[in-house]
Amino acid sequence: MENKKMCMALFSGSLDKLTAAGIILSGAAADDMEVDVYVLLQGARAFKKEIANDKDKIMLAENPELREEFVESLKKLNVKEWQDFFKEAKEITDVKFHICGLAGKIWGGEKLEDFIDLADDIVGIGEYITAAEEADIHLFI
């Protein structure tokens, strides 16, 4: 039987939603799914090297004043950081991270080297739409 395919639009660049996406990717990897993640708008900002490597630059989507409580709770529960979830999923199954070309440019990212090593390529929005149409599961985060 052919592996199921998941398409995820990672629109948000907030710590809570990046963490949620990482947990979902872990589940998809455990099910040996093929996953294409399209990193859009604020998600592309979070993938920029200077943002992703400075943990204080990524806030919560809602209730940003709860950021420290959220981070402390993750540590207490021994929950991985979002990038670690993403890396592990890539090691386990076929996961690709596609940066939206326009989104990258909005945040000053013109080349693949402007983004963290998880990024596989820079694509146009048409690729995302095609992948969403062909996927068994489509998520927008």
**Residue 22: is its pLDDT beyond 90?**
yes
pLDDT band at 139 (very low <50, low <70, confident <90, very high): very high
Q: What is the pLDDT of residue 123?
A: 98
pLDDT band at 56 (very low <50, low <70, confident <90, very high): confident
Q: DSSP string covering 5-64, please?
A: EEEEEE----HHHHHHHHHHHHHHHHTT-EEEEEE-HHHHHHHBHHHHT-GGG---SS-G
Cα angle 60, 65, 68 (rounded to 5 degrees) comes to: 75
Inter-residue contact 141 to 22 (CB < 8 Å): no
So what's the architecture of 5-140 in CATH? 3-Layer(aba) Sandwich (3.40)
Mean pLDDT across the chain: 95
Averaged over 103-122, what is the pLDDT? 97
- Smallest CA-to-CA distance from 40 within 119, 121, 113, 98 is with 98
Q: What is the pLDDT of residue 1?
A: 55
Domain coordinates in residue numbering, the chain: 5-140
Inter-residue contact 115 to 47 (CB < 8 Å): yes
CA 97 centroid distance within chain: 7
Q: What is the pLDDT of residue 111?
A: 97
